[in-house]
Chains A and B, each alone.
Chain A
Amino acid sequence: SQTIHQWPATLVQPVGSPLSLECTVEGTSNPNLYWYRQAAGRGLQLLFYSVGIGQISSEVPQNLSASRPQDRQFILSSKKLLLSDSGFYLCAWSAPWGRESDEQYFGPGTRLTVT
């Protein structure tokens, strides 16, 4: 069966520090991968998605970036965090296009607090 992991579970970082959040998927190959951010009272916002290694699409311009160095690894980064980067970050995966790729499966999330 497929599983999705995110770490760390919680993170407290000062303004201006770098960020690296990692997401890995097991039990599937060539998944579509997604990063979402959930801010209080604002629902979920799609940040990035990837359909393959090295292929990243950005939905919202910001000081965050994403990379996909391996097929089942998705990393969210920032060089300098802002207070507004605080939130709950969720990684998700879906099967490659053409195979029920409409359904997404979510990881447990990372709670980021920027102080």
Chain B
Amino acid sequence: AQSVTQLGSHVSVSEGALVLLRCNYSSSVPPYLFWYVQYPNQGLQLLLKYTTGATLVKGINGFEAEFKKSETSFHLTKPSAHMSDAAEYFCAVSFLYSGGGADGLTFGKGTHLIIQP
């Protein structure tokens, strides 16, 4: 069974500081990994994803994440936080069954990112 663990339900950083949001997963087969962002009372927007290939993935709004198979991690980073980055961030995992069709994403519980001025 798949699972996703996000360390820290709330993370607070100062504007201009490094953002690091942690995500660890468990999966019985090679995973697809995602980070989504959710602003208040809105749907989720994809930040970035890892499927295959390069393990360092760059996304929108200056975010990036690195897939580390040995650590089963997919941490999200941004060198310099901006006030507009304040939101809820979700890590998710999925994989495609060899028989076809697509399963839903398994989400972590989310991390609320707070940006201090």
Contacts of B51 in A (CB 8 A): 102
Which residue of B49, B100, B110 contacts A103 across the interface (Cβ within 8 Å)?
Answer: B49
**Interchain CB contact under 8 A, B43 and A102:** no
Q: Give 8 pairs: A residue, B residue, CB < 8 Å, sorted on A.
A: A32-B101, A42-B109, A44-B90, A97-B100, A97-B101, A102-B96, A102-B102, A104-B104
Task: A61 to B86: give the CA distance in the assembly, Å.
Answer: 34
Q: Say yes or no: is B105 at the interface (Cβ < 8 Å to chain A).
A: yes
Q: Say yes or no: is A70 at the interface (Cβ < 8 Å to chain B).
A: no
Q: Say yes or no: is B106 at the interface (Cβ < 8 Å to chain A).
A: yes
* B interface residues, Cβ below 8 angstroms from A: 9, 32, 34, 36, 41-46, 49, 51, 90, 94, 96, 100-110
Task: A42 to B88: give the CA distance in the assembly, Å.
Answer: 12
Contacts of A34 in B (CB 8 A): 104
Task: A104 to B101: give the CA distance in the assembly, Å.
Answer: 13
What does the 1/0 interface line of A89-103 toward B look like (CB < 8 Å)?
Answer: 010101001100111
**Interchain CB contact under 8 A, B104 and A90:** no
- Which B-chain residue is minimally distant from A91 (CB atoms)? B43
- Which B-chain residue is minimally distant from A88 (CB atoms)? B41
Q: Say yes or no: is A107 at the interface (Cβ < 8 Å to chain B).
A: yes
Which residue of B32, B90, B101, B106 contacts A51 across the interface (Cβ within 8 Å)?
Answer: B101
**Interchain CB contact under 8 A, B9 and A41:** yes
Task: A107 to B32: give the CA distance in the assembly, Å.
Answer: 21
Contacts A41-B109, A43-B109 given; indicate if A49 touches B41 (C-beta within 8 A): no
Which residue of B43, B103, B106, B108 contacts A107 across the interface (Cβ within 8 Å)?
Answer: B43
